[in-house]
Amino acid sequence: MSIGFVFPGQGSQYVGMGKDLYENYSEIKPFYDEAEEVLGFPLKKISFEGPESELKQTRYTQPAIFVHSLAVWNLLKNYPISANAVAGHSLGEYSSLVAAGAISWIDGLKIVKIRAEEMQKSGEKNPGTMAALIGLSQEEVEEICRQASTEGIVKTANFNSPGQIVISGSINAVHRAMELGKQKKARMVTELVVSGAFHSPLMADALDGLTQALDQLEIKNPLIPIFANATAQPVTDPTIIRDLLKKQLLFPVLWQNLIQNMITHGIYRFYEIGPGKVLQNLIKRIDAGVSCLSIGKKDDLQNLNKFQE
C-alpha cells in the first residue's frame, strides 16, 4: 500500500505545539535551537507558551508550523515508514519540499521566514480577510464571488473538500460574499482568523519579495513526487517547482483535486505530519475509503505501530 505524507498549513497552530517533543526527544532540542538562530526570534517560547495572539501572527505562525512539522518528520525516520509521494497545504508545501529532498532544511527555514514576513507586511498594507463557505458547490461560490466583487476583490482561495470552499479578498467584499452565502442557504459561513487575504491578488506585494528569494533558492530533483497546490498534479522538475511556488501565493489551493489525484496514483494511506488534524479531517471527507493518521505529538508517535497493523 503506497504512503503519502501531507503537511498542514496556517490555521493548524496551537499554543504548546512541539513542547512534548522537545522535552522527550533529545534530537529535537538542537533542531529547535538551530531554528531559533536562523529565525532570530524566540520560537520555542512562542510555540510552547504563546500567547496565542503572538503565535497567530503570520510572521511567527508559518515558521512555527514548519519547524514543528519537520521535527515530527525527523522523528519518523526512526520508524519503518517511508513516503511514495508528498504534498502540503499552502505553507505545508514547503515542508513537503524538504521531506522530498528538493530543498534543504535550513534553506526551507530561510524561505519560510521570508514568505511569512512578506505575507504579514502585505496583509498590513492591503487589509483583507478569508471565510469558509460550507455546503455550496464550486459554481455557486464562484457566482457569489462575482456578485460580491462590486464591493472589492474576492476570490476562491482553497478548494478543501467536497462542499468546503474558502474565499479570500478585501474585507467588505468577503463580508458581502458571506451574506450572499447565507442567502444561498450555505450550511455554514465562517470568517477565518487570519492576518490577510491569502491566495488572492491582495498578496501581490508579498510576491515581489518572495520571488527574489525563490530565484536564489537551490531546488534539487526531489526523490519522490510532490503534488503541487496550484495544479494538483505531481511535479519533479526543479524549474517547475520554483514557478509553482510563486503561483501558489496568489492562486487557489486545489486540495480536493490534489488528494484525489494522489489516490489515483495509488496512495491509500496518508500521514498528516505536524500540528492539528485539519488535513486528516479533509481527507476523510474527500474519500472515506483511505486511511489517514495525524502525527504531531509524542502520543501519536507511540501509537504508530497500531496504525501500521
pLDDT digits (tens, 9 = 90+) for 83-100: 999 999 999 999 999 999
Retrieve residue 47's grid coordinates: 510555540
DSSP letter at 254?
-
- % of the chain residues with pLDDT over 70: 98
Average pLDDT over residues 200-204: 95
Instruction: Tell whether 207 and 190 lie within a shared domain.
Output: no
Helix, coil or strand: residue 198: coil
Catalytic residue (one of 12, 90, 161, 170): 90
Please give the Cα distance from 139 to 144 (Å, whole number): 9
Closest CA to 249 of 200, 297, 214: 200
Please give the Cα distance from 152 to 175 (Å, whole number): 10
Residue numbers of the domain that contains 63: 2-124+202-308
Instruction: Tell whether 135 and 88 lie within a shared domain.
Output: no
Instruction: Tell whether 12 and 82 lie within a shared domain.
Output: yes
Gyration radius of the chain's alpha carbons: 18
Catalytic residue (one of 95, 199, 200, 294): 199
Confidence of residue 304 (pLDDT cuts 50, 70, 90): confident
pLDDT tens profile 217-235? 999 999 999 999 999 999 9
Retrieve residue 306's grid coordinates: 497500531
Average pLDDT over residues 17-24: 97
Is a pLDDT exceeding 90 seen at residue 194? Answer: no
Is a pLDDT exceeding 90 seen at residue 291? Answer: yes
Instruction: Tell whether 32 and 47 lie within a shared domain.
Output: yes
Q: What's the CATH code of the domain at 208?
A: 3.40.366.10
Please give the Cα distance from 272 to 294 (Å, whole number): 4
Domain stop point among 146, 169, 195: 195
Active site residue 90: yes
pLDDT tens profile 30-79? 999 999 999 999 999 999 999 999 999 999 999 999 999 999 999 999 99
**Average pLDDT, rounded, for the chain:** 96
User: In terms of DSSP bridges, do strands 154-161 and 164-170 run parallel, antiparallel, or are they unpaired?
Assistant: antiparallel
Please give the Cα distance from 100 to 293 (Å, whole number): 19
Give pLDDT, residue 308. 57
Retrieve residue 181's grid coordinates: 452565502
pLDDT tens profile 102-159? 999 999 999 999 999 999 999 999 999 999 999 999 999 999 999 999 999 999 999 9
Measured in degrees and rounded to the nearest 5, phi and psi for residue 234 equal -70, 145
Instruction: Tell whether 227 and 279 lie within a shared domain.
Output: yes
Instruction: Tell whether 176 and 250 lie within a shared domain.
Output: no
**How many residues does this entry show for the chain?**
309
Instruction: Tell whether 191 and 58 lie within a shared domain.
Output: no
Average pLDDT over residues 182-202: 94
Give pLDDT, residue 306. 66
Give pLDDT, residue 23. 97
Instruction: Tell whether 80 and 117 lie within a shared domain.
Output: yes
Give the chain's domain count.
2
Instruction: Tell whether 114 and 140 lie within a shared domain.
Output: no
User: In terms of DSSP bridges, do strands 85-88 and 2-7 run parallel, antiparallel, or are they unpaired?
Assistant: parallel
Confidence of residue 1 (pLDDT cuts 50, 70, 90): low
Instruction: Tell whether 115 and 239 lie within a shared domain.
Output: yes
Domain stop point among 175, 195, 215: 195
Residue 142, judged by CB atoms within 10 A of its CB (0-12, 13-18, 19+), counts as middle
